[in-house]
Amino acid sequence: MIIVMKRNSSDVDIATVSDMVTSLRYQPRVIHGTEQTIVACIGDELSHQSLDILRNLPAVESVMPVQKKFKMVSREYHPANTVVDVRGVKIGGGNIEVIAGPCAIESYDQFRTAVRDLIDCGIRIIRAMPFKPRTSPYDFQGLKHDGLQIMHDIKKEFDIALVSEVTGPDKVEQLQDIADMFQVGARNAQNYDLLEQIAKIGKPVLLKRGLASTVEEWLTAAEYLIVNNCPQVVLCERGLRSFDPSTRNLLDLGAVAVAKQLSHLPIIVDPSHAAGARRLVPALARASLAVGADGLIVEAHPDPVNAFSDAPQQLETGTFQTFLDDLAPWIDLARKAALHPDLA
């Protein structure tokens, strides 16, 4: 249930409502909007008492059931676009951001060259992956501890925001001091224990859509983060498992449009893991911005052909500026469309 408070309600009114919600065995979450305050009530509506009686309180405007499994993620709950702040870099609400970096950290020189090239192109958030979730145990699993050390050295030198994938619970602590944003990969998109654990750290999270998750499952996974007090969530569409091997994953741009309507969270697209082939990445990137994405996360490597993982899909960091220059008109359009949603 969502309780919408009247516009002039006082702190005492809100506290009274919160106390009543608690006494009915729900957890209240008070969200102060620019115009109105909302109290979201967390609890199992089947086993708890109805909150309908709160309608009678003078300070309450309405009590709305939320039929959907996601509540705090929904636009009903929070109509305005959320802006996520990653160490000062904003994503969402007209802030279109391109995140880039190699699939994995492979060596000090490889990562340093990639970061230097990308910073020269104006990239402000770098993919920094010492841990890799690989489908085969025989594939490169990342440099792990050595990769973390490289991350520390590079961050010290370049003072740049880093997004890093948390592949399992033990990685949360290892990445906590160095990552500015945690990535939850497609394979962990429904690992609810991990989502809860990550949420407790309070860092921004990049939540990829699962390999075969519905939009509802994707948004409900985001709900796990928000309900556990981690409101800074960026959703990421990265393509789905499909019948057709023409692309590595079937990029579901329809889902980006649907999720933008259903949710206030920023949504970015990963054209690299969707395409699986570098020649397709620019087209998928353009299409993503056209459909309303708030940004992209793109794999780029100084020597992509010889990359230890995902060699066929990585762009070259040395020529990344050309990719960005070609994309510039679409970035401009995406920014305008986000600021004037009637155009979208």
Q: Which of 82, 340, 90 is nearest to 226 (CA)?
A: 82
How far is the C-alpha of 126 from the C-alpha of 54, rounded, in Å?
47
Q: How far is the CB of 139 from ligand PEP (least distance, A)?
A: 11
Does 129 help bind ligand PEP (rule: CB under 6 A)? Answer: yes
Of the candidates 29, 273, 286, 301, which one interacts with ligand PEP according to CB under 6 A?
Answer: 273
Of the candidates 29, 238, 286, 301, which one interacts with ligand PEP according to CB under 6 A?
Answer: 238
Q: How far is the CB of 99 from ligand PEP (least distance, A)?
A: 10
Does 86 help bind ligand PEP (rule: CB under 6 A)? Answer: no
Q: Which does 238 bind (CB under 5 to 8 A by kind): Mn ion, ligand PEP, none?
A: ligand PEP
Does 186 help bind ligand PEP (rule: CB under 6 A)? Answer: yes
Does 294 help bind Mn ion (rule: CB under 5 A)? Answer: no
How far is the C-alpha of 27 from the C-alpha of 71, rounded, in Å?
13
* Residues β-bridged to residue 163: 127, 181
How far is the C-alpha of 294 from the C-alpha of 260, rounded, in Å?
10
Q: How many residues does the chain have?
A: 344
Q: How far is the CB of 102 from Mn ion (least distance, A)?
A: 8
Q: Per CB under 6 A, which region of 26-34, 52-60, 183-191, 288-296 contacts ligand PEP?
A: 183-191
Does 295 help bind ligand PEP (rule: CB under 6 A)? Answer: no
Of the candidates 208, 260, 264, 301, which one interacts with ligand PEP according to CB under 6 A?
Answer: 208
How far is the C-alpha of 37 from the C-alpha of 33, rounded, in Å?
5
DSSP class per residue in 263-308: B-S-EEE-HHHHH-SGGGHHHHHHHHHHHT-SEEEEEEESSGGG-S
Q: How far is the CB of 235 from ligand PEP (least distance, A)?
A: 12
Q: How far is the CB of 161 from ligand PEP (least distance, A)?
A: 16
Q: Per CB under 6 A, which region of 2-10, 52-60, 86-94, 181-189 contacts ligand PEP?
A: 181-189
Closer by beta carbon to ligand PEP, 5 or else 125: 125
Closer by beta carbon to ligand PEP, 9 or else 164: 164
Q: How far is the CB of 310 from Mn ion (least distance, A)?
A: 4
The footprint of Mn ion on this chain (CB under 5 A) covers a number of residues equal to 2
Q: Which does 312 bind (CB under 5 to 8 A by kind): Mn ion, ligand PEP, none?
A: none
Does 310 help bind Mn ion (rule: CB under 5 A)? Answer: yes
Ranges within 65-124 binding Mn ion (CB under 5 A): 103
Of the candidates 165, 223, 237, 252, which one interacts with ligand PEP according to CB under 6 A?
Answer: 165
Tell me the CB-side half-sphere exposure of residue 62, using CA atoms within 13 A: 6
- Tokens standing for 321? 């500026």
How far is the C-alpha of 138 from the C-alpha of 294, rounded, in Å?
35
Q: At what angle do helices 108-120 and 145-158 cross, to 10 degrees?
A: 40
303, 106 contact by CB (below 8 A): no
253, 223 contact by CB (below 8 A): no
- Cβ neighbour number for residue 25 with a 10 Å cutoff: 12
Measured between its terminal Cα atoms, the distance across the chain in Å is 30
- Cβ neighbour number for residue 28 with a 10 Å cutoff: 19
Q: Which residues of the shown chain bind ligand PEP in the complex (CB under 6 A)?
A: 103, 129, 133, 165, 185-187, 208, 238, 270, 273
